[in-house]
Amino acid sequence: MASIDPTGIKIPHPASHALHDHESFADVMAEQLRHAPYLAIAILIHAVALLILWQIKIDRRIEPTPLAMNAQLPEQLPDVPPEEIEEKKEIEPVIQDNVVPEETPVLEPTVPNADFDDQQEPQADSAFDESALNDVIGIGGDAGSKYGGRGPGGNGLGHGSTTHKNVIDGLDWLSRHQDADGHWDADEFMKHDPAEDRCDGVGSAVHDVGLTGLATLAFLAEGSTLRSGTFKNQIKRAVVWIKDQQAESGAIGPDSHRAHVYNHAIATLALVEAYGLSKYKTLERYAQRAVDYICSSRNPYSVWRYYPRDGSNDSSVTGWMVFVLQSARDFGLRIDPDALAYSKAWFDEVTDPSTGQCGYTKRGEGSSRELGMAEKFPSSKTEALTAVGLLSRIFLGQSPNDAVLASAADTLVKKPPVWNENDGSIDLYYWYYGSYALFQVGGRRWSTWKKSLEPALVKSQRREGAARGSWDPVGAWGHDGGRVYSTALAVLTLQVYYRYSRIVH
């Protein structure tokens, strides 16, 4: 074996310790990558994959499913009200047009097709415009202005009044004599009585629209509404019937008789109050259209009488119109402000400033009477038009302390209510307006009037039989309006204590 020369053998040495100490991990990796490019490619691919997986995880955290959100954050949703399982909400009936329910003798008749949905809002294209009525309607209790003394609930706003029982008895009689379709029949109301005990007191059929309006006002004044109250069903049916009598022109009822304007005014007042005490939109268009008809029927530069724009004017019709227009304005409906301005000018024109007495078509003229009735019911026994003028002036914003209004109030007190069937002094129309006017005035005048009013109406109310709760139509205009007229007006007159607040105060 040849000998090995150790000096000729070259053994590779690792890098010196000093150099190794100066190389970083990055330098080493860079050196390795230069010698192995495939490693760089593999690392790059893995890095991209990890980045994609990490992004997917982040996205899922940002957009959780709706189920997870609802399950974790039910209390953080501001628009979701808490459930109220125990408390039942008021319901609003859906009443259909042109549907006449079957005749029923019960006091609280059921309104057919009355579906309830308290959450439903009327549509822009309402079914009220068509032949069928399907919108949700209902009367609530958002009263304002002179109606602030009234409210919803139907428990009777006159509790505590000495005449409250008389009011309820009167409303009960009206309820028993309402037709199934919702209206009151002036000349056939007695069909609801037993054959052996039928009421007398037939009125004229041309007044059905006005009488239905008066009766509806009496039920509303008691506090019942479409939503609640003892007489809610009577109001529901009456409001629908009145609405069904309205023509495209806005006129309610036939317009061929001279009683048309009276009938329209009273029915409009019922619609306006029904709308105003509820603010439900589906009735608003009917009330507004009826008010528009009143405004368009006024004589140019003057007021109203029996026919639209017929060139003649009188205080009686104009008084109803002031009542309606002021109520409409209070409840947010559109009116013609000129109508109220010309009404004030009219009452100034026909009023004697020294006595406050208001004339019928001119200053100094007494109340009108139906042909052949002037002798039985002399105008000297009444101050009906003075009462109309006084109440109208108060509603138009004049103070009872005004000298003319104070004189008018004194004139009324000199002719207080007296139920005397022999001397022609019974005039429920006068007592109705006089009571409202003097209640607004207040003070000694109202106290004096009230002392005569209560016995006159309380003692004359019928107590027995089919007529129980009603008043005999033995006064002026009683032969025309009949027992329905006399009963509705008497009830409204007794409700003066709580029907309106004192707007002048």
- H helix runs in 36-147, sequence order: 37-62, 66-72
pLDDT confidence of residue 226: 75
More confidently predicted of 9 and 431: 431
Q: In whole angstroms, what is the distance from residue 56 CA to residue 186 CA?
A: 82
Considering only 3-17, 125-139, 156-170, which range has the smallest mean pLDDT?
125-139
Q: In whole angstroms, what is the distance from residue 315 CA to residue 264 CA?
A: 16
Q: In whole angstroms, what is the distance from residue 444 CA to residue 400 CA?
A: 13
| The domain over range 93-499 is classified in CATH as 1.50.10.20 | yes
In the block, residue with structure tokens 């003892």:
230
Mean pLDDT of 352-359: 98
pLDDT confidence of residue 26: 52
Closest-CA residue to 90 (of 223, 230, 235, 227): 227
Q: In whole angstroms, what is the distance from residue 436 CA to residue 146 CA?
A: 12
Whether the CB-CB separation of 397 and 503 falls below 8 Å is answered with no
- What percent of the chain clears pLDDT 70, i.e. is strictly above it? 67
Mean pLDDT of 421-430: 95
Whether the CB-CB separation of 480 and 443 falls below 8 Å is answered with no
DSSP string computed for 383-435: -HHHHHHHHHHHHTT--TTSHHHHHHHHHHHTS-----TTTT---HHHHHHHH
pLDDT confidence of residue 279: 75
In the block, residue with structure tokens 């239905």:
212
pLDDT confidence of residue 370: 75
More confidently predicted of 185 and 53: 185
Helices 164-176 and 208-221: angle between axes, nearest 10 degrees: 140
pLDDT band at residue 134 under the 50/70/90 scheme: very low
Number of other residues whose CB lies within 10 A of the CB of residue 242: 25
pLDDT confidence of residue 256: 87
Mean pLDDT of 476-500: 92
Half-sphere exposure in the Cβ direction for 216 (13 Å, CA): 31
Whether the CB-CB separation of 468 and 197 falls below 8 Å is answered with no
Residue pLDDT, tens place only, 11-34? 444 443 433 444 455 554 555 555
Tokens of 143: 């009263």
pLDDT confidence of residue 34: 55
Q: In whole angstroms, what is the distance from residue 387 CA to residue 364 CA?
A: 14
Which amino acid is located at 59 in the chain? D
Q: In whole angstroms, what is the distance from residue 391 CA to residue 433 CA?
A: 7
0.75 exceeded by pTM:
no
Phi and psi of 93, rounded to 5°? -80, 150
Distance in angstroms between the alpha carbons of the first and the last residue of the chain = 142
Instruction: Reply yes or no on whether the pLDDT at 114 is more than 80.
Output: no
Whether the CB-CB separation of 392 and 319 falls below 8 Å is answered with yes
pLDDT confidence of residue 42: 61
Considering only 53-67, 204-218, 443-457, which range has the smallest mean pLDDT?
53-67
Interior/surface letters 260-277, b for 16+ CB within 10 angstroms, e for the rest: bbbbbbbbbbbbbbbbbb
Closest-CA residue to 220 (of 284, 181, 289, 266): 266
Interior/surface letters 70-91, b for 16+ CB within 10 angstroms, e for the rest: eeeeeeeeeeeeeeeeeeeeeb
pLDDT confidence of residue 379: 87
Considering only 152-161, 339-348, 383-392, 395-404, which range has the smallest mean pLDDT?
152-161
Distance of CA 326 to the CA centre of its chain: 15
pLDDT band at residue 374 under the 50/70/90 scheme: confident
Residue pLDDT, tens place only, 234-252? 999 999 999 999 999 999 9
More confidently predicted of 75 and 255: 255
Residue pLDDT, tens place only, 285-332? 999 999 999 999 999 999 999 999 999 999 999 999 999 999 999 999
H/E/C letters for each residue in 133-176?
Answer: CCCECCCCCCCCHHHCCCCCCCCCCCCCCCCHHHHHHHHHHHHH
H/E/C letters for each residue in 222-259?
Answer: CCCCCCCCCCHHHHHHHHHHHHHCECCCCCECCCCCCC
Instruction: Reply yes or no on whether the pLDDT at 68 is more than 50.
Output: no
Mean pLDDT of 43-57: 60
Instruction: Reply yes or no on whether the pLDDT at 426 is more than 90.
Output: yes
More confidently predicted of 393 and 13: 393
Distance of CA 101 to the CA centre of its chain: 24
Please, what is the Cα angle at 222 between 465 and 481, to 5 degrees?
55
Average pLDDT in the chain: 78
Tokens of 212: 């239905």
pLDDT confidence of residue 122: 32
pLDDT confidence of residue 125: 27
Considering only 152-166, 259-273, 386-400, 403-417, which range has the smallest mean pLDDT?
152-166
Q: In whole angstroms, what is the distance from residue 24 CA to residue 288 CA?
A: 92
Q: Where are the domains of the chain?
A: 93-499
pLDDT confidence of residue 228: 75
Whether the CB-CB separation of 305 and 313 falls below 8 Å is answered with yes
pLDDT band at residue 229 under the 50/70/90 scheme: confident
H/E/C letters for each residue in 271-310?
Answer: HHHHHHCCCCHHHHHHHHHHHHHHHHHCCCCCCCCCCCCC
pLDDT confidence of residue 52: 62
Whether the CB-CB separation of 263 and 224 falls below 8 Å is answered with no
